[in-house]
Structure 1
Amino acid sequence: MDIHHLKIFFEACNEKSFTKAAKKLYISQSAVSIQIKKLEYTLGLQLIERNSKNFKLTFAGKELFKMSQDVFEKISRMENEMKKILQYKKGKISIGATHNIGEPVLPRIMIEFRKNNPEIEFDLYIKNRESLVKHLKEGTVDVALMEEYFIEDKEIKVIETEEYPFVVIAGNDIKDYKELMELPLLKRDTVLTNKYLDLFEKIIGFNLDKRITINGSIETMKNLVKNGLGFAVLPYYSVYEEITKGTLKVIHSFEKSEDKFQIVFVRENEDKEGITKFVEFLQNYKINRTLFTEKKIK
Protein backbone atom coordinates (compact mmCIF):
# COMPACT_ATOMS: atom_id res chain seq x y z
CA MET A 1 0.00 0.00 0.00
CA ASP A 2 1.36 3.43 -1.00
CA ILE A 3 1.25 5.82 1.99
CA HIS A 4 0.79 8.74 -0.44
CA HIS A 5 -2.37 7.16 -1.84
CA LEU A 6 -3.61 6.47 1.69
CA LYS A 7 -3.01 10.11 2.67
CA ILE A 8 -5.10 11.36 -0.26
CA PHE A 9 -7.89 8.94 0.64
CA PHE A 10 -7.69 10.03 4.29
CA GLU A 11 -7.99 13.74 3.45
CA ALA A 12 -10.87 13.07 1.05
CA CYS A 13 -12.69 11.26 3.86
CA ASN A 14 -11.92 14.06 6.31
CA GLU A 15 -13.26 16.70 3.94
CA LYS A 16 -16.03 14.46 2.53
CA SER A 17 -15.15 15.95 -0.84
CA PHE A 18 -12.63 15.36 -3.62
CA THR A 19 -12.63 19.08 -4.39
CA LYS A 20 -11.85 20.18 -0.82
CA ALA A 21 -9.21 17.46 -0.43
CA ALA A 22 -7.54 18.58 -3.67
CA LYS A 23 -7.44 22.16 -2.44
CA LYS A 24 -5.95 21.11 0.90
CA LEU A 25 -3.31 18.92 -0.75
CA TYR A 26 -2.53 21.44 -3.54
CA ILE A 27 -3.31 18.97 -6.31
CA SER A 28 -6.07 18.70 -8.91
CA GLN A 29 -9.41 17.04 -8.27
CA SER A 30 -8.68 14.52 -11.02
CA ALA A 31 -5.40 13.61 -9.29
CA VAL A 32 -7.32 12.86 -6.08
CA SER A 33 -9.71 10.61 -7.98
CA ILE A 34 -6.90 8.80 -9.83
CA GLN A 35 -4.81 8.16 -6.69
CA ILE A 36 -7.81 6.77 -4.79
CA LYS A 37 -8.60 4.47 -7.73
CA LYS A 38 -4.99 3.24 -7.58
CA LEU A 39 -5.42 2.53 -3.86
CA GLU A 40 -8.62 0.59 -4.58
CA TYR A 41 -6.84 -1.41 -7.30
CA THR A 42 -3.98 -2.26 -4.91
CA LEU A 43 -6.40 -3.42 -2.21
CA GLY A 44 -8.84 -5.10 -4.59
CA LEU A 45 -11.69 -3.30 -2.83
CA GLN A 46 -14.04 -0.44 -3.63
CA LEU A 47 -13.68 2.27 -0.99
CA ILE A 48 -16.04 4.99 -2.24
CA GLU A 49 -19.50 4.57 -3.79
CA ARG A 50 -19.23 6.29 -7.18
CA ASN A 51 -22.98 6.19 -7.89
CA SER A 52 -23.89 8.23 -4.80
CA LYS A 53 -24.68 11.96 -5.18
CA ASN A 54 -22.94 12.65 -1.87
CA PHE A 55 -19.51 11.49 -0.68
CA LYS A 56 -20.23 8.01 0.68
CA LEU A 57 -17.85 5.29 1.85
CA THR A 58 -18.35 1.58 1.40
CA PHE A 59 -17.97 -0.71 4.43
CA ALA A 60 -14.31 -1.30 3.46
CA GLY A 61 -13.83 2.45 3.04
CA LYS A 62 -15.19 3.18 6.51
CA GLU A 63 -12.90 0.58 8.08
CA LEU A 64 -9.83 1.84 6.21
CA PHE A 65 -10.59 5.47 7.15
CA LYS A 66 -10.90 4.47 10.80
CA MET A 67 -7.52 2.69 10.73
CA SER A 68 -5.85 5.45 8.73
CA GLN A 69 -6.80 7.98 11.42
CA ASP A 70 -4.53 6.14 13.87
CA VAL A 71 -1.73 6.03 11.29
CA PHE A 72 -1.74 9.75 10.54
CA GLU A 73 -2.19 10.73 14.20
CA LYS A 74 1.02 8.80 14.93
CA ILE A 75 2.79 10.43 12.00
CA SER A 76 1.62 13.82 13.26
CA ARG A 77 3.02 13.03 16.74
CA MET A 78 6.37 12.08 15.20
CA GLU A 79 6.48 15.27 13.14
CA ASN A 80 5.61 17.46 16.14
CA GLU A 81 8.23 15.76 18.30
CA MET A 82 10.91 16.28 15.64
CA LYS A 83 9.94 19.95 15.34
CA LYS A 84 10.42 20.40 19.09
CA ILE A 85 13.85 18.77 18.96
CA LEU A 86 14.85 20.83 15.90
CA GLN A 87 13.74 24.09 17.49
CA TYR A 88 14.99 23.55 21.04
CA LYS A 89 17.76 20.99 20.50
CA LYS A 90 16.27 19.05 23.40
CA GLY A 91 12.97 17.70 24.62
CA LYS A 92 10.16 20.15 25.28
CA ILE A 93 6.73 19.33 26.67
CA SER A 94 3.38 20.87 25.84
CA ILE A 95 0.91 21.04 28.72
CA GLY A 96 -2.83 21.28 28.14
CA ALA A 97 -5.70 21.96 30.51
CA THR A 98 -9.40 22.67 30.37
CA HIS A 99 -10.50 26.26 30.97
CA ASN A 100 -11.87 25.44 34.43
CA ILE A 101 -8.45 24.20 35.55
CA GLY A 102 -6.21 26.20 33.25
CA GLU A 103 -7.42 29.65 34.17
CA PRO A 104 -7.51 29.47 37.99
CA VAL A 105 -4.93 26.83 38.90
CA LEU A 106 -2.53 25.93 36.04
CA PRO A 107 -0.37 29.09 36.43
CA ARG A 108 0.35 28.15 40.07
CA ILE A 109 1.16 24.57 39.07
CA MET A 110 3.57 25.65 36.34
CA ILE A 111 5.36 28.20 38.56
CA GLU A 112 6.06 25.50 41.15
CA PHE A 113 6.99 22.95 38.49
CA ARG A 114 9.53 25.34 36.95
CA LYS A 115 11.12 25.99 40.34
CA ASN A 116 11.73 22.26 40.73
CA ASN A 117 12.58 21.56 37.07
CA PRO A 118 14.18 24.68 35.55
CA GLU A 119 15.75 22.65 32.75
CA ILE A 120 12.41 21.62 31.21
CA GLU A 121 10.93 23.90 28.54
CA PHE A 122 7.15 23.91 28.09
CA ASP A 123 4.22 25.43 26.17
CA LEU A 124 0.68 25.75 27.52
CA TYR A 125 -2.65 25.09 25.79
CA ILE A 126 -6.08 25.88 27.24
CA LYS A 127 -8.78 23.93 25.37
CA ASN A 128 -11.98 21.99 25.97
CA ARG A 129 -11.72 18.28 26.77
CA GLU A 130 -12.53 17.04 23.26
CA SER A 131 -9.88 19.31 21.71
CA LEU A 132 -7.28 18.25 24.28
CA VAL A 133 -7.78 14.56 23.47
CA LYS A 134 -7.44 15.33 19.75
CA HIS A 135 -4.26 17.35 20.34
CA LEU A 136 -2.85 14.55 22.51
CA LYS A 137 -3.31 12.02 19.73
CA GLU A 138 -1.74 14.38 17.18
CA GLY A 139 1.20 15.22 19.45
CA THR A 140 0.49 18.94 19.81
CA VAL A 141 -0.12 18.38 23.53
CA ASP A 142 1.93 15.91 25.61
CA VAL A 143 0.03 15.94 28.90
CA ALA A 144 -3.46 17.25 29.67
CA LEU A 145 -5.14 18.07 32.96
CA MET A 146 -8.93 17.91 32.95
CA GLU A 147 -12.00 17.15 35.01
CA GLU A 148 -13.29 13.55 34.96
CA TYR A 149 -13.98 12.53 31.37
CA PHE A 150 -14.54 9.05 29.95
CA ILE A 151 -11.96 8.35 27.23
CA GLU A 152 -12.44 5.11 25.33
CA ASP A 153 -9.07 4.85 23.65
CA LYS A 154 -6.43 2.24 24.47
CA GLU A 155 -3.63 4.56 23.33
CA ILE A 156 -4.53 7.11 26.00
CA LYS A 157 -3.54 6.62 29.63
CA VAL A 158 -5.60 8.28 32.37
CA ILE A 159 -4.37 8.82 35.95
CA GLU A 160 -6.79 10.11 38.56
CA THR A 161 -5.52 12.68 41.02
CA GLU A 162 -6.89 13.77 44.36
CA GLU A 163 -10.54 14.50 44.99
CA TYR A 164 -11.56 18.13 45.05
CA PRO A 165 -14.39 19.75 47.04
CA PHE A 166 -17.07 22.20 45.96
CA VAL A 167 -18.01 25.30 47.95
CA VAL A 168 -20.76 27.90 47.92
CA ILE A 169 -19.30 31.40 47.55
CA ALA A 170 -20.75 34.90 47.86
CA GLY A 171 -19.71 38.46 48.56
CA ASN A 172 -18.41 39.43 51.99
CA ASP A 173 -21.65 41.19 52.95
CA ILE A 174 -23.68 37.95 53.21
CA LYS A 175 -24.14 37.01 56.88
CA ASP A 176 -27.02 34.52 56.91
CA TYR A 177 -28.29 31.71 54.65
CA LYS A 178 -31.74 33.39 54.58
CA GLU A 179 -30.23 36.32 52.67
CA LEU A 180 -29.72 33.93 49.75
CA MET A 181 -33.49 33.79 49.21
CA GLU A 182 -33.33 37.30 47.76
CA LEU A 183 -30.02 36.83 45.92
CA PRO A 184 -29.86 35.21 42.46
CA LEU A 185 -28.01 31.94 42.14
CA LEU A 186 -25.45 32.14 39.32
CA LYS A 187 -25.56 28.67 37.81
CA ARG A 188 -23.38 26.80 35.37
CA ASP A 189 -25.42 23.97 33.88
CA THR A 190 -23.17 21.00 34.69
CA VAL A 191 -23.83 17.64 36.34
CA LEU A 192 -21.54 18.44 39.29
CA THR A 193 -23.08 21.87 39.89
CA ASN A 194 -26.58 20.38 39.89
CA LYS A 195 -25.52 17.66 42.32
CA TYR A 196 -24.14 20.10 44.87
CA LEU A 197 -27.01 22.55 44.44
CA ASP A 198 -29.52 19.82 45.28
CA LEU A 199 -27.49 18.95 48.37
CA PHE A 200 -27.21 22.61 49.42
CA GLU A 201 -30.99 23.14 49.14
CA LYS A 202 -31.52 20.20 51.50
CA ILE A 203 -29.03 21.69 53.97
CA ILE A 204 -30.55 25.20 54.03
CA GLY A 205 -34.17 23.97 53.93
CA PHE A 206 -35.52 26.10 51.07
CA ASN A 207 -35.39 26.18 47.28
CA LEU A 208 -33.12 28.56 45.41
CA ASP A 209 -35.69 29.78 42.90
CA LYS A 210 -33.94 32.92 41.67
CA ARG A 211 -31.44 31.63 39.14
CA ILE A 212 -29.34 33.09 36.34
CA THR A 213 -27.71 30.63 33.96
CA ILE A 214 -24.15 31.62 33.10
CA ASN A 215 -22.79 30.22 29.84
CA GLY A 216 -19.23 31.27 30.51
CA SER A 217 -16.03 30.45 32.32
CA ILE A 218 -15.45 30.19 36.06
CA GLU A 219 -13.56 33.49 35.87
CA THR A 220 -16.76 35.14 34.62
CA MET A 221 -18.70 33.60 37.49
CA LYS A 222 -16.24 34.85 40.09
CA ASN A 223 -16.28 38.41 38.74
CA LEU A 224 -20.09 38.48 38.79
CA VAL A 225 -20.14 37.28 42.41
CA LYS A 226 -17.48 39.85 43.39
CA ASN A 227 -19.66 42.59 41.91
CA GLY A 228 -22.69 41.51 43.93
CA LEU A 229 -24.82 40.00 41.17
CA GLY A 230 -25.38 36.75 43.06
CA PHE A 231 -23.77 33.68 44.64
CA ALA A 232 -22.48 30.45 43.13
CA VAL A 233 -21.41 26.85 43.68
CA LEU A 234 -17.86 26.32 42.38
CA PRO A 235 -14.88 23.99 42.84
CA TYR A 236 -12.79 25.17 45.80
CA TYR A 237 -9.52 25.16 43.82
CA SER A 238 -10.97 27.80 41.47
CA VAL A 239 -11.67 30.33 44.24
CA TYR A 240 -8.71 29.65 46.54
CA GLU A 241 -6.87 32.84 45.55
CA GLU A 242 -9.95 35.04 46.05
CA ILE A 243 -10.69 33.47 49.43
CA THR A 244 -7.09 34.06 50.49
CA LYS A 245 -7.27 37.71 49.42
CA GLY A 246 -10.67 38.19 51.06
CA THR A 247 -12.48 39.25 47.89
CA LEU A 248 -14.86 36.27 48.09
CA LYS A 249 -16.34 34.39 51.02
CA VAL A 250 -17.01 30.67 51.51
CA ILE A 251 -20.51 30.44 52.92
CA HIS A 252 -20.65 26.65 52.83
CA SER A 253 -18.15 23.87 52.17
CA PHE A 254 -19.39 20.36 51.40
CA GLU A 255 -17.92 17.67 53.63
CA LYS A 256 -18.04 14.98 50.96
CA SER A 257 -15.98 15.36 47.78
CA GLU A 258 -15.94 12.60 45.22
CA ASP A 259 -14.91 14.45 42.07
CA LYS A 260 -11.42 14.13 40.64
CA PHE A 261 -8.97 15.55 38.15
CA GLN A 262 -7.44 13.43 35.43
CA ILE A 263 -3.89 13.48 34.08
CA VAL A 264 -4.08 12.28 30.49
CA PHE A 265 -1.30 11.39 28.03
CA VAL A 266 -0.47 8.99 25.20
CA ARG A 267 0.89 5.68 26.51
CA GLU A 268 3.83 5.53 24.10
CA ASN A 269 5.13 8.82 25.58
CA GLU A 270 4.98 7.56 29.15
CA ASP A 271 8.74 7.03 29.49
CA LYS A 272 9.86 10.39 28.08
CA GLU A 273 11.82 12.23 30.75
CA GLY A 274 9.96 15.57 30.66
CA ILE A 275 6.53 13.93 30.64
CA THR A 276 7.50 11.52 33.43
CA LYS A 277 8.70 14.37 35.64
CA PHE A 278 5.59 16.45 35.03
CA VAL A 279 3.19 13.55 35.67
CA GLU A 280 5.02 12.65 38.91
CA PHE A 281 4.93 16.30 39.96
CA LEU A 282 1.16 16.47 39.33
CA GLN A 283 0.54 13.26 41.25
CA ASN A 284 2.27 14.76 44.30
CA TYR A 285 0.94 18.28 43.86
CA LYS A 286 -1.93 19.21 46.15
CA ILE A 287 -4.33 21.21 44.01
CA ASN A 288 -6.62 21.55 46.99
CA ARG A 289 -5.46 23.75 49.80
CA THR A 290 -6.83 23.15 53.30
CA LEU A 291 -10.24 24.76 53.59
CA PHE A 292 -10.28 27.66 55.99
CA THR A 293 -11.45 26.80 59.46
CA GLU A 294 -13.19 30.15 59.82
CA LYS A 295 -16.80 29.92 60.90
CA LYS A 296 -19.21 29.69 57.98
CA ILE A 297 -22.57 31.46 57.97
CA LYS A 298 -25.67 29.61 59.12
Structure 2
Amino acid sequence: MNYSNIKPSTTSFEVKVKIAASEILGEHIIPCLVSGFKISNPKIDFSLQIYNSSDTVRMVKEGVVDIAAVQLPKKLKHYIEKFEHLMIAEDRLVVISAVEYGIPTGRSITVKELTKHPLVLSEEKTDLNHFVRHLFSIHRIDHRQLKVKLRLFGTSAIITSVS
Protein backbone atom coordinates (compact mmCIF):
# COMPACT_ATOMS: atom_id res chain seq x y z
CA MET A 1 0.00 0.00 0.00
CA ASN A 2 1.20 3.50 -0.75
CA TYR A 3 1.32 5.37 2.57
CA SER A 4 2.33 8.73 1.08
CA ASN A 5 -1.31 9.88 1.15
CA ILE A 6 -1.63 9.55 4.95
CA LYS A 7 -2.24 12.91 6.61
CA PRO A 8 -2.21 13.45 10.36
CA SER A 9 -5.57 14.37 11.87
CA THR A 10 -6.42 15.71 15.31
CA THR A 11 -7.55 12.28 16.48
CA SER A 12 -6.11 9.75 14.02
CA PHE A 13 -4.85 9.28 10.48
CA GLU A 14 -6.86 9.99 7.38
CA VAL A 15 -6.17 7.56 4.59
CA LYS A 16 -7.54 7.24 1.09
CA VAL A 17 -7.44 3.68 -0.20
CA LYS A 18 -7.90 3.20 -3.94
CA ILE A 19 -9.50 -0.08 -5.01
CA ALA A 20 -9.88 -1.50 -8.51
CA ALA A 21 -12.27 -4.43 -8.78
CA SER A 22 -13.84 -6.64 -11.38
CA GLU A 23 -17.53 -6.03 -12.05
CA ILE A 24 -19.25 -8.54 -9.77
CA LEU A 25 -16.89 -7.86 -6.88
CA GLY A 26 -17.03 -4.11 -7.41
CA GLU A 27 -20.82 -3.97 -7.54
CA HIS A 28 -21.77 -6.54 -4.92
CA ILE A 29 -18.97 -7.69 -2.60
CA ILE A 30 -16.50 -4.83 -2.05
CA PRO A 31 -19.16 -2.19 -1.19
CA CYS A 32 -20.46 -4.46 1.60
CA LEU A 33 -16.97 -5.10 2.96
CA VAL A 34 -15.98 -1.43 2.78
CA SER A 35 -19.16 -0.14 4.43
CA GLY A 36 -18.72 -2.59 7.30
CA PHE A 37 -15.07 -1.65 7.68
CA LYS A 38 -15.86 2.09 7.67
CA ILE A 39 -18.11 1.73 10.72
CA SER A 40 -15.10 1.10 12.92
CA ASN A 41 -12.63 3.06 10.75
CA PRO A 42 -14.37 6.31 9.77
CA LYS A 43 -11.12 8.16 9.00
CA ILE A 44 -10.32 5.83 6.12
CA ASP A 45 -11.78 6.88 2.78
CA PHE A 46 -12.18 4.50 -0.14
CA SER A 47 -12.51 4.99 -3.87
CA LEU A 48 -13.65 2.09 -6.02
CA GLN A 49 -13.39 1.73 -9.78
CA ILE A 50 -14.50 -1.24 -11.86
CA TYR A 51 -12.25 -2.84 -14.48
CA ASN A 52 -11.57 -6.35 -15.75
CA SER A 53 -9.29 -8.56 -13.64
CA SER A 54 -6.17 -8.19 -15.78
CA ASP A 55 -6.43 -4.39 -15.65
CA THR A 56 -6.93 -4.41 -11.86
CA VAL A 57 -3.83 -6.55 -11.35
CA ARG A 58 -1.82 -4.30 -13.70
CA MET A 59 -3.02 -1.20 -11.81
CA VAL A 60 -1.90 -2.52 -8.43
CA LYS A 61 1.44 -3.57 -9.95
CA GLU A 62 1.93 -0.04 -11.33
CA GLY A 63 0.88 1.61 -8.05
CA VAL A 64 -2.20 3.26 -9.56
CA VAL A 65 -4.40 1.58 -6.94
CA ASP A 66 -3.69 0.13 -3.51
CA ILE A 67 -5.88 -2.96 -3.75
CA ALA A 68 -7.10 -5.12 -6.62
CA ALA A 69 -10.17 -7.29 -6.09
CA VAL A 70 -10.30 -9.98 -8.76
CA GLN A 71 -12.11 -13.18 -9.50
CA LEU A 72 -9.99 -15.88 -11.04
CA PRO A 73 -10.47 -19.55 -11.85
CA LYS A 74 -8.18 -21.75 -9.73
CA LYS A 75 -6.24 -22.52 -12.90
CA LEU A 76 -5.08 -18.86 -13.02
CA LYS A 77 -4.13 -18.51 -9.35
CA HIS A 78 -0.46 -18.23 -10.39
CA TYR A 79 -1.40 -14.85 -11.90
CA ILE A 80 -1.54 -13.28 -8.42
CA GLU A 81 1.02 -15.35 -6.49
CA LYS A 82 3.65 -12.59 -6.59
CA PHE A 83 1.29 -10.30 -4.65
CA GLU A 84 0.07 -10.40 -1.09
CA HIS A 85 -3.38 -11.88 -1.52
CA LEU A 86 -6.32 -13.22 0.39
CA MET A 87 -9.14 -15.37 -0.90
CA ILE A 88 -12.39 -13.79 0.28
CA ALA A 89 -14.84 -16.34 -1.11
CA GLU A 90 -15.33 -19.20 -3.49
CA ASP A 91 -18.41 -19.25 -5.67
CA ARG A 92 -20.24 -21.35 -8.20
CA LEU A 93 -21.70 -20.45 -11.55
CA VAL A 94 -25.48 -20.12 -11.51
CA VAL A 95 -27.61 -20.41 -14.63
CA ILE A 96 -30.75 -18.30 -14.81
CA SER A 97 -33.37 -18.74 -17.47
CA ALA A 98 -36.77 -17.62 -18.57
CA VAL A 99 -39.54 -20.06 -17.58
CA GLU A 100 -40.32 -21.01 -21.18
CA TYR A 101 -36.95 -22.79 -21.58
CA GLY A 102 -38.06 -25.56 -19.25
CA ILE A 103 -35.06 -25.68 -16.96
CA PRO A 104 -36.58 -26.69 -13.60
CA THR A 105 -35.95 -24.25 -10.75
CA GLY A 106 -33.49 -25.53 -8.18
CA ARG A 107 -32.27 -28.43 -10.32
CA SER A 108 -28.66 -28.78 -11.34
CA ILE A 109 -27.97 -28.76 -15.05
CA THR A 110 -24.87 -30.18 -16.69
CA VAL A 111 -22.59 -28.06 -18.79
CA LYS A 112 -23.38 -30.36 -21.74
CA GLU A 113 -27.12 -29.64 -21.29
CA LEU A 114 -26.41 -25.90 -21.51
CA THR A 115 -25.24 -26.32 -25.10
CA LYS A 116 -28.82 -27.21 -26.09
CA HIS A 117 -30.23 -23.86 -24.94
CA PRO A 118 -29.91 -20.33 -26.36
CA LEU A 119 -27.60 -18.29 -24.14
CA VAL A 120 -27.16 -14.65 -23.20
CA LEU A 121 -23.52 -14.15 -22.30
CA SER A 122 -21.29 -11.26 -21.38
CA GLU A 123 -19.11 -9.36 -23.83
CA GLU A 124 -16.02 -11.17 -25.15
CA LYS A 125 -13.42 -9.30 -23.06
CA THR A 126 -15.18 -9.54 -19.68
CA ASP A 127 -14.10 -11.67 -16.74
CA LEU A 128 -17.44 -13.47 -16.78
CA ASN A 129 -16.91 -14.47 -20.40
CA HIS A 130 -13.46 -15.84 -19.52
CA PHE A 131 -15.04 -17.91 -16.74
CA VAL A 132 -17.69 -19.29 -19.10
CA ARG A 133 -15.08 -20.17 -21.73
CA HIS A 134 -12.96 -21.85 -19.07
CA LEU A 135 -15.96 -23.80 -17.79
CA PHE A 136 -16.79 -25.12 -21.25
CA SER A 137 -13.15 -25.87 -22.09
CA ILE A 138 -12.64 -28.08 -19.03
CA HIS A 139 -15.70 -30.04 -20.21
CA ARG A 140 -14.15 -30.25 -23.70
CA ILE A 141 -16.83 -28.11 -25.30
CA ASP A 142 -15.78 -25.55 -27.89
CA HIS A 143 -17.35 -22.21 -26.89
CA ARG A 144 -18.00 -21.53 -30.59
CA GLN A 145 -20.61 -24.34 -30.53
CA LEU A 146 -22.77 -22.45 -28.05
CA LYS A 147 -26.10 -20.96 -29.14
CA VAL A 148 -25.24 -17.41 -28.13
CA LYS A 149 -28.22 -15.20 -28.94
CA LEU A 150 -27.00 -12.01 -27.30
CA ARG A 151 -23.89 -10.59 -25.63
CA LEU A 152 -24.29 -7.83 -23.06
CA PHE A 153 -21.95 -5.90 -20.83
CA GLY A 154 -22.75 -6.36 -17.20
CA THR A 155 -24.30 -8.99 -15.03
CA SER A 156 -27.35 -6.83 -14.30
CA ALA A 157 -28.06 -6.44 -18.03
CA ILE A 158 -27.84 -10.20 -18.53
CA ILE A 159 -30.21 -10.90 -15.64
CA THR A 160 -32.68 -8.30 -16.91
CA SER A 161 -32.60 -9.73 -20.44
CA VAL A 162 -33.75 -13.19 -19.34
CA SER A 163 -36.28 -12.13 -16.72
TM-score exceeds 0.5: yes
Residue in structure 2 matched with residue 151 of structure 1 by the alignment: 79
> Residue type of the partner of 1:103?
E
Residue in structure 2 matched with residue 128 of structure 1 by the alignment: 52
Residue in structure 2 matched with residue 184 of structure 1 by the alignment: 118
RMSD between aligned residues = 3.7
**Identical residues among aligned pairs (%):** 23
8 Å Cα contact 1:104/1:219 also seen in 2: no
Gaps spanning 5+ residues in structure 2: where? 105-113
Q: Distance in 1 between matches of 2:101 and 2:35?
A: 36
Q: 1:87 to 1:196 in 2, by over 3 A?
A: farther
What is the DSSP-based 3-state SS (H/G/I as helix, E as strand, rest coil) of the residue aligned with 1:162?
A: coil
Residue in structure 1 matched with residue 6 of structure 2 by the alignment: 85
Q: Which deviations, in whole Å up to 9, do the C-alpha atoms of 1:33-84 show, x marking residues without a partner?
A: xxxxxxxxxxxxxxxxxxxxxxxxxxxxxxxxxxxxxxxxxxxx86xx42x2
Matched, 1:222 2:150: no
Q: Which deviations, in whole Å up to 9, do the C-alpha atoms of 1:98-128 show, x marking residues without a partner?
A: 1232123332332222234333222212122
> Residue type of the partner of 1:211?
V
Residue in structure 2 matched with residue 119 of structure 1 by the alignment: 43
**Equivalent residue for 2:97, pick from 144, 159, 170:** 170
Shift of 1:186: 0.8
Gaps spanning 5+ residues in structure 1: where? 1-76, 202-207, 227-298
What is the DSSP-based 3-state SS (H/G/I as helix, E as strand, rest coil) of the residue aligned with 1:90?
A: strand
Q: Distance in 2 between matches of 1:209 and 1:90?
A: 51
How many pairs does the alignment contain? 137
Runs of 4+ displaced beyond 4 Å = 86-89, 180-183, 196-199
When Rg is computed on C-alpha atoms for both structures, the one with the higher figure is 1
8 Å Cα contact 2:97/2:103 also seen in 1: no
Shift of 1:164: 0.6
Q: 1:209 to 1:125 in 2, by over 3 A?
A: closer
Q: How does 1:255-294 map to 2 (within 5 A)?
A: none
Q: 1:211 to 1:130 in 2, by over 3 A?
A: closer
> Residue type of the partner of 2:102?
D
> Residue type of the partner of 1:109?
L
8 Å Cα contact 2:14/2:43 also seen in 1: no
> Residue type of the partner of 1:169?
I
Q: Distance in 2 between matches of 1:151 and 1:183?
A: 33
> Residue type of the partner of 1:108?
C
Q: Which deviations, in whole Å up to 9, do the C-alpha atoms of 1:188-209 show, x marking residues without a partner?
A: 353432426997x9xxxxxx96
